[in-house]
Structure 1
Amino acid sequence: MDGLTMLVENQFKLDPFLAPFEKALFIFYNKQIKKLKILHFVDEGFWLYYHRLKNSKFRWCMTQEEDLRLKQLES
């Protein structure tokens, strides 16, 4: 969880404790789109939700521009 928090702070240059991010959800997924982690900032703490699919993939709807932006952030 600390690694994801550091990613939000360093990669995205955001402070999760400041508005409007204090109740935000940050969604992370693996390359195969079978594992999903959601970092949820609430009040003074974090929730980490994790879901893993066995035989299928999450369906992810995004435009090509959004997909390109995500890939650039991963680099």
Structure 2
Amino acid sequence: MIINTDEIKNIYVSSHYVDMRKSIDGLTQIVNLQFQMNVLDHSLFIFTNKARNRIKILYYESNGFWLFIKRLEHGRFKIEEHDDSNTRKITSTQLNWLLEGLEFEEKFKEKQLLI
């Protein structure tokens, strides 16, 4: 990825799918109004569509926004929908697992059990 993950404060995954027609302005509104978070605080915000075959990653750098889009030709991103919150915080390792198509939530649970 182009972004240096050492500079990222937090990584959040939206617990609910969003309309993938939304661009920077629409996703920024979701972060500010629904998540009640500051989109400018050097955090990554990850959104997925209902079919879970596309994700958008919103990130604010010092002078502007990045919007990354990834579409899977086969398979789905392993993101579970959660009713209890709007977002879940993940690690940079989990982000890599997610982008590789792995079960990042299961791997995280397994890692916690081993500790």
SS class of match (2:67): strand
SS class of match (2:68): strand
| Counterpart residue number, 1:16 | 39
Spell out, residue by residue over 1:7-62, the C-alpha distance to the aligned partner (whole angstroms, 9 max, x if none): 10111112222xxxx210000001111000000111231100000011211123x6
| Counterpart residue number, 1:29 | 48
Residue 12 of structure 2 is aligned to residue 6 of structure 1: no
**Runs in 1 of length 4+ with deviation above 2 angstroms?**
none
Report the Cα distance in structure 2 between the residues aligned to 1:37 and 1:14, rounded to whole angstroms. Answer: 17
Residue 54 of structure 2 is aligned to residue 40 of structure 1: no
Q: Which runs of 5+ in 2 are unaligned?
A: 1-23, 87-115
- TM-score, scaled to structure 2: 0.48
Q: Which runs of 5+ in 1 are unaligned?
A: none
- TM-score, scaled to structure 1: 0.71
Taking every aligned residue pair, what percent have the same amino acid on both sides? 38
The Cα RMSD (Å) is 1.8
Aligned length: 63
